[in-house]
Amino acid sequence: MKVVIGVVAGVVGLILLIVIGAVVLIVENDASAAETADGGGGLQGVPAEFRKYILQADAECKEPAMTPALLAAQLYQESKFKTSVAEATSPAGAQGPAQFMPGTWATWGREDADGNGRISPWDIGDAVIAQGRMMCSLLKSARSSGYPGGPQALALAGYNAGWNAVRRFRGVPPESFARGETHNYVRIILATMPRFEGPGGLAAASVSVSGSGAGADALRRASTELGVKYSYGGGTPSGPSTGFCDGVNGYLNGQCDASRTEGWDCSSLVQYAYWPSTRLPRTAAAQYGATSNRPVARGDLKQGDLLFWSNSTGFIYHIALYAGDGKVLHAPRTGKRVEIAPMDTAMPSGDYLGATRP
């Protein structure tokens, strides 16, 4: 967390899963689901001594754009997970694996997370939890700022250069600022994130959108939500929001996750992507009904087209946006995040109903 300039200023279309013995049946996505998270926590490739604290920091933050891979990629950029004084002290005086300047550490380094009797930027647990809290605060500021670039990029810029720099430029500082340090810091971390995405994480960090028109524009808008958490019943045309639990859906590890998680379900993300130029209804089934008079063959898919899946009764339980190259952008289920996934494996291939173009 260092800059050359010498100052650091202080998605209702939902997946329904019913587990019977060892068999998981996808029944519907718009009404109810007994959903489970993937076992990998969305994190891989980090030293074992960091993993616990990265996952803890992610769990403590309710900001939609927080992910374990974001924290891991940031730590890798800051220190390569180094912890010694010799290897993790910057020329500017930043200290420890999360590279806190002493003044910033005084604000965020307030917990003995590892229980060793001291609070130190050199202790992995203390540093990672402090990093997570600072990033969570920055993600909140980024989300409410309205600045372009996406909350993750804005928060990273704030961590590196201070939020005042982000406010000054009303976005990520340009390459001309601080000899490109902040610009490159953000670019490198976002590009590195997929390396640390484990089961339960993003399948891709970004999507390339070509051309113009309603579909391309919708995909561009939806792509800014990559990494945002899934929330059963959550999401509105204005942005991610908390959802609800209905006795079956929205639960994670026995707790109501949706009511405490700001995010998207599958159909609210699609509604948001096309709003306000095309005001699609709220649920996946209703969105199919509103667009089914404009079907698209699989071989003719274009970016932004709507893809639908239905169960054996004909109930449409899931919707996604076509992202190109045989992939989709969607909000999968509780415990996951908005992601890019192969079309054939995003949902059971036999459930694929077809596509439409709004």
**CATH no. for residue 321?**
3.90.1720.10
Last residue of a domain, one of 166, 196, 226: 196
Determine, yes or no, domain membership for 30. Answer: no
Residue 203 amino acid letter? A
Look at residues 181, 103, 112, 104 and name the one whose alpha carbon lies nearest to residue 137. Answer: 104
Place of tokens 């997946």: 15
* Dihedral (CA of 109, 111, 112, 114) sign: negative
Residue at 304 is within a domain: yes
CB distance 70 to 139 below 8 Å: no
Mark whether 177 and 276 lie in a shared domain. no
Least confident of 110-114, 193-197, 324-328: 193-197
Q: What is the 3-state secondary structure (H, E, C) of the chain?
A: CCCCCCCCECCCCCCCEEEECCEEEECCCCCCCCCCCCCCCCCCCCCHHHHHHHHHHHHHCCCCCCCHHHHHHHHHHHHCCCCCCCCCECCCCCECCCCECHHHHHHHCCCCCCCCCCCCCCCHHHHHHHHHHHHHHHHHHHHHHCCCCCHHHHHHHHHHHEHHHHHHHCCCCCCCHHHHHHHHHHHHHHHHHHHHCCCCCCCCCCCCCCCCCHHHHHHHHHHCCCCCEECCCCCECCECEECCCCCCCCEECCEECHHHCEEECHHHHHHHHHCCCCCCCCCHHHHHHHHCCCEECHHHCCCCCEEEEECCCCCEEEEEEEEECCEEEECCCCCCECEEEEHHHHCCHHHEEEEECC
N-term to C-term CA, the chain? 44
Scan for tokens 């997370």, then name that residue.
113
The count of structural domains within the chain is: 2
Same domain for 225 and 275, yes or no, is yes
Q: Are residues 170 and 292 in the same domain?
A: no
Q: Is the pTM of this model over 0.85?
A: no
* Pair (99, 163) in one structural domain: yes
Whether residue 141 is predicted with pLDDT greater than 60 in this model: the reply is yes
Shared-domain flag, residues 339 and 237: yes
Same domain, 117 and 240: no
Using CA atoms, how far apart are residues 231 and 309, in angstroms rounded to an integer?
A: 19
Which one of 140, 165, 196 terminates a domain? 196
| pLDDT of 35 over the 50 cut | no
Judged against a pLDDT cut of 60, whether residue 106 lies above it is answered with yes
Condensed to tens digits (0 to 9), the pLDDT of residues 145-192 reads: 989 888 999 999 999 999 999 999 999 999 999 999 999 999 999 988
Residue 32 lies in a domain: no
Is 1 part of a structural domain of the chain? no
Question: Is 112 part of a structural domain of the chain?
Answer: yes
Whether residues 264 and 141 share a domain: the answer is no
Q: Which residue has the tokens 């939500």?
A: 225
Crossing angle of helices 266-274 and 284-291, in 10° steps, is 40
17 and 30 Cβ atoms separated by less than 8 Å: no
Statement: residue 45 has pLDDT above 50: yes
Please say which residue of 141, 166, 196 terminates a domain: 196
Judge if 235 and 119 occupy the same domain: no
Q: Specify whether 189 is located in the same domain as 46.
A: yes
* 111, 119 Cβ separation under 8 angstroms: yes
- 75 and 168 in a single domain? The answer is yes
259 vs 29, 57, 231, 247, CA distance in Å? Answer: 18, 19, 8, 12
> What residues make up the domain containing 101?
41-196
**What pLDDT digit, counting tens, does each position of 248-279 carry?**
889 988 999 999 988 999 999 999 999 999 99
Mean pLDDT over 99-109 rounds to 95
* Residue 187 within any structural domain of the chain: yes
Residue 101 token pair: 């300047």
Same-domain status, 180 and 266: no
Residue identified by tokens 């050359």 is 4
pLDDT recorded at residue 41? 61
Percentage of the chain modeled with pLDDT above 70: 86
What is residue 19's predicted lDDT score, i.e. its pLDDT?
29
> Which residue type sits at 32?
S
**Cα(212)–Cα(92) distance, rounded to whole angstroms?**
45
Residues 6+ apart with CB under 8 A from 86: none
Q: Is residue 262 in a domain?
A: yes
Q: Answer yes or no: do 124 and 235 share one domain.
A: no
CATH number at residue 88: 1.10.530.10
Average pLDDT value for the chain:
85
Q: Of 39-53, 223-237, 258-272, 312-326, where does mean pLDDT reach its minimum?
A: 39-53
Contact predicate 306/287, CB 8 Å? yes
Largest Cα span, the chain: 66
Q: Is residue 307 part of a domain?
A: yes
Structure tokens at 189: 């971390």
